[in-house]
Structure 1
């Protein structure tokens, strides 16, 4: 029962005395399980948990709603195992406080382990994105939005955890995220960073505009900052991104807000050609390695995007122009970035700080004392740095 080496990747398993295969898909780029067996409503949760921990994928053949319940049961067993491990670790390390960076890496390790185990519960999808299971929901629209129509031309398998993420993203896309500073909703696509932390949008709404002629929005994402600049009266915004999904998401949002005529969307790595009196960038805030493509909106390995933006800013600013860098100091409080690193990088790029606007986060985790990263989150500040080329 090994996976096929063909492309696209396949899962393979034995059932009814025969060998079966099915194409595998993972938006996160995860490899298919090397061992797979069929499972249904009769499998005990403890047995499923043991198999998943050992790396055996469970291709579900039972009731879909029972699969959802099993996934929840697996989650509870993971949590109990983690609590036992942490209690044992605290006992062994009594009197030794865990450093913020250690807490962060431990938290990510636990998240990855949880995702790996939960990702072992697999769901088959028929051509056209229908689920051939009892009491299965209609996920055709959600899958078509995330996967595109090409993938739906043949059956394939996907993890139930990923499928639930698609369903949730589909609902978010329909409902949208209320952006108070815009007085409107932004509708994020699956895999595009959702502007649920509205404080950074508020900073762009408040900062004094150096010019209303032209602005560059670097890394447009959902289009929320381009929309904010256009609403503030900037006559032309050139917005860039390397992700086709983000560009499509931004286009749809700007069209819905009646602002697309003011915004030109371009596929580009950071800066478009030319200079602008205002250049805005909200790079990923944490200098860590993403574990999947979707995490590139959160994690910036070795601060590559941040440093590339700073090092290229001066040559793309019009005389007297400003670059607005939106950053959180969460990484500093986690011990992932030296407190002086950003100031030193700004100076090394030939820039100076013309001003800074700060705000405190308002999201739920900032006040959640049970969050493993609460010590760092409680001190976090989000800032808009107004940067100019040094004379």
Structure 2
């Protein structure tokens, strides 16, 4: 049996961003399950250089390897890279087909998993894989090579992107996906909804494999044991109020301003308090202004891992009014803590949170009145809230990384035979 040696490819590392965390957690859990695995990424962590560009540029191989990367504590191969002027918010790898060939030779990598869209990593990996397979066909190399791509796909919604970026995204999808689909053994989709979208864009149905991002077991297994008694004191939250929590980057896409508007509608109720927690983003200033004068809203800023666990334990409900969400890893974490979710039910959210079972769907990101009614429904019906919480925990338990990575590793082993 050929043992998989797995390279997971993502354009940067992060402490908080969903796609980056999924890639990092993949590596962590492949390693934990006994597989050799490496994260192949850029010199950037949350947009900042963690290795000086000059060091990588002058390396003989075009990359620098660290057994325990200082930013993420995983075996990490950081390749020569740069921040792109276009498309926005993306990082590109330099000369990646050749660099990936050297990485694969030097580390014995026979399985590659790429993440995200609108950058050259997935396209170049597809080219490299097809080249490797051609070499094998001609008898110049032995063995086999596995390739999977995970887009974390979000449709180019006109309400989120201006027309220039939207047309670029449409163009990338039209040009890059066919190359990727041609080379990929599996197309990893966070929900069946995304899987249907990939098939419409040209993927073969048999390529689709639902891999829902996953919860890191280590971050949630002690949720019930964590001592959260000091959380309310630290953030001055009344003891007699039930917490409705938003947790995520305070950015326009995730729409926490709508949570402020919900709190404003419910400011007459003394039995509920809204907590908006997360790293400041492009909607931070609006949220700060909007919450002024609202005694039922607390802004915490970015939380430590320990305080995040305390918030989940203290929360009565989680709320997310996102305008676009491929899945919602944070929702899974609250659900694993037995907390029901009030959601705008956009895209992947409508699948991960079942309406009336694990939480409540409202009518999109602008349905502030519907969200306020959903909060009141849970406040006034604690038995229903507890039933949803139990269902939420059971559902989220299906998406632990230890479970879904083990299943994916089995699929990879099957392809390498």
TM surpasses 0.5:
no
Which structure has more relative contact order (CA 8 Å, sep 6+)? It is: 2
Between structure 1 and structure 2, the one with the greater Rg is 1
TM-score, structure 2 as length reference: 0.30
